[in-house]
Structure 1
């Protein structure tokens, strides 16, 4: 296997001091704990738990208190027939009843005896808990995938810089040889300039790669929930081993998307049941404790408190609502059909993802072996060309051509390596094994 050394110089680009080096596994674990999106999803889970408690509380007794104080500047009068008091028929008189000071207080307790909507609502709240947990899982999967892709890209940039710096060292030797030949009138000055121009081009490319590397390290900090001012270095050596291409057909039934759709279907079923429950009556028991105080001040002051207590049974039944519930039920049934189609579509998509990922792993395995051999061959040809150039048997054009061929082979090798790692990542994502729960 071709072994690539660590790129130590790039670790100093983001810091001037020593920073602990994190592997992909360590950085992913850190991201799954400290990423802001993950923490936000966890807060959403706590909100869901509060909603479940809210639904449960609706099944408990409800106690209310009401108080009322009135001072009548003028007591309201009522019209009464005088015949009720022995007067003539057809004659009426206005009379004020009561006292100017009125104080009333009522305590009422209600307990639901029968309401199918509450039980259905409790089941729906529990489904919401499961959905919230799946949302956290999906967020973690996205974070883990983005961290891995960014990590691999950063490693690629680091290795490209490593290759280019090695090429510059070899190019410097060629420049010295060519300059010496020119001074001894055995070569052309333009050949030295062409080599120096090639070196400047590679140095410019290195600076651009280093700048992109710094951006990716900053992105990794953001994904992992690490403050930008903190130090971070990564392992710049990409794992070069090939992967084992799975032979058995994976179903991908563990995919979060499928699990979410399953819970959404169940929630839709509960919503339909809840609408149907609206056709049924609800029954509640209640008890009331009332105390009224009537009073008047002055020389003929008077104060009287009158208590009252009673129990009751209340039934509520919306017999006809203008077909509103029927139309709502029809909507939910159609939404259920949509969810079934989405589930079927998602299964087909997952099957396609699994097939593509398996194919890519197989192709990139072979590409990695081929590109590795190409790098070895290009390196060998470049070294032979340098020797021939030093002996004066070939011109500068051949040297530059073989140097470019070596650089292309190196880039192809890194591209194949990253594509293989990405294909492995896509396989884990497609089969629902990107993160462990």
Structure 2
């Protein structure tokens, strides 16, 4: 018991669990949760999945940001100058200013105080880089959408694995509890028989030893259940102290085993392959964008302003004259030579795209291998399940017959204990193998990109 509370205290120190307790309101699940219900709760609360959805939203905002670069850029400005000494200008003598042509006249043009306010407008008229950026932004949205879908699949897979793992441990616990109940009943009978000189003390002690061993096994199993369910709650995004119960019906598990349909592998259905495909498009746009640095860019601009001048700062007076200025124009930029930077940047982008191709080939081969391993694991687990089912039926018959013989004093206690241990082990092995089959099914669904079928 002390070990359980110690583990609980350590779990509370995990930042993710603290975050869950602060961000999710108190929950209570009175009914046993099915796998589908557990997954849905996880999709509603898992933080990694929520972050992926936020990244998807952020990609939409980034696209709008890029689109905004092609809209008119309007800004207002103000400019105040106070010349302590007005800048002098040197002009040759003669003419209007007098003196000989060899003289230099230094004259201060302007006044000490000036104030200017205006409005500037810039409009991008043509930019090949901008057009490519719009296409890349749209592809970027697809990229983050696929990442969000992949995150959803990861959450579903992780929850399903831990849900089935928790059920596996719970079934073992039920088996141990049934064994403890049987041994406790047998202990009472032997205790009464021993007190009446109808049983040997060694037989009673054997039962007590077995009972102590099974109870110790149960205690260790409860620790494992606490750990597994704690991690399941973490993946679900709910507080660690939330009470949950899982659907332990083995008959439903058998139903899932019998009705499972094996899906064929189409690598294009896998999110990781789709993500690599989108990345390939993004690198194509990156290469085109780099090459577009050689293309001209045309920008239109306008500037409307008013200026005032004075010997002193008295611009607030109503008698000041404000002089209007208005300017429109076009600016054409034609890159000519930049030290061959564009060439080498494009070469780097091309190399990166070639590396991505290798990653795509590697991912395709890995997906096919994962699928084949999942199939082999599934068929082997089915074969093992059939054998364990036959073994369970056989061990049940042996136990029933041994119990009957023991009651008639035709079989020793050691045979009964051995039969009960064999029956307990057979039942536990069968329950575990059902879970192994379901886990193998998860492997097939995950390798084919069909893991979302669990919530359909």
Q: Is the 8 A contact 1:177 1:390 kept in 2?
A: no
For the residue of structure 1 that corresponds to 2:124, the secondary structure is strand
Alignment of 1:63-102 (within 5 A): 63-84=74-95, 85-102=97-114
Structure 1 residues 184 and 140: CA distance shift in structure 2, 3 A:
same
The total of aligned residue pairs comes to 421
Alignment of 1:104-119 (within 5 A): 104-119=116-131
Query: Deviation string for 1:136-194 (max 9, x for gaps)?
Result: 11111111011111111111111111111222222234334433443454543122112
Q: CA deviation at 1:431?
A: 0.8
1:407 alignment partner in structure 2:
424
Q: CA deviation at 1:283?
A: 0.9
Query: Deviation string for 1:321-342 (max 9, x for gaps)?
Result: 1121111111111111111111
Match of 1:26 among 31, 37, 55: 37
2:271 is the counterpart of 1:256: yes
2:21 alignment partner in structure 1:
none
Q: CA deviation at 1:298?
A: 10
1:158 alignment partner in structure 2:
170
Q: Which runs of no fewer than 5 residues in structure 2 stay unpaired?
A: 1-25
Structure 1 residues 39 and 298: CA distance shift in structure 2, 3 A:
closer
Q: CA deviation at 1:18?
A: 7.4
For the residue of structure 2 that corresponds to 1:435, the secondary structure is helix
2:11 alignment partner in structure 1:
none
Q: Structure 2 length normalisation: TM-score?
A: 0.86
2:194 alignment partner in structure 1:
182
How many Å separate the matches in 1 of 2:420 and 2:78? 93
Structure 1 residues 339 and 204: CA distance shift in structure 2, 3 A:
same
Q: Is the 8 A contact 1:159 1:237 kept in 2?
A: no
1:331 alignment partner in structure 2:
348
How many Å separate the matches in 2 of 1:372 and 1:150? 24
Alignment of 1:295-314 (within 5 A): 295-297=310-312, 303-314=320-331
How many Å separate the matches in 1 of 2:348 and 2:29? 62
How many Å separate the matches in 2 of 1:18 and 1:95? 90
For the residue of structure 2 that corresponds to 1:227, the secondary structure is coil
How many Å separate the matches in 1 of 2:71 and 2:412? 93
State the Cα RMSD in Å. Answer: 2.4
2:47 alignment partner in structure 1:
36
Q: Is the 8 A contact 1:55 1:121 kept in 2?
A: yes
| Higher-helix-fraction structure | 2
Alignment of 1:282-321 (within 5 A): 282-297=297-312, 303-321=320-338
Structure 1 residues 243 and 336: CA distance shift in structure 2, 3 A:
farther
Q: Is the 8 A contact 2:113 2:313 kept in 1?
A: no
Alignment of 1:125-204 (within 5 A): 125-204=137-216
Q: Is the 8 A contact 2:115 2:309 kept in 1?
A: yes
How many Å separate the matches in 2 of 1:413 and 1:220? 24
2:378 alignment partner in structure 1:
361
How many Å separate the matches in 1 of 2:235 and 2:277? 29
1:388 alignment partner in structure 2:
405
For the residue of structure 2 that corresponds to 1:19, the secondary structure is coil
Q: Is the 8 A contact 2:262 2:444 kept in 1?
A: no
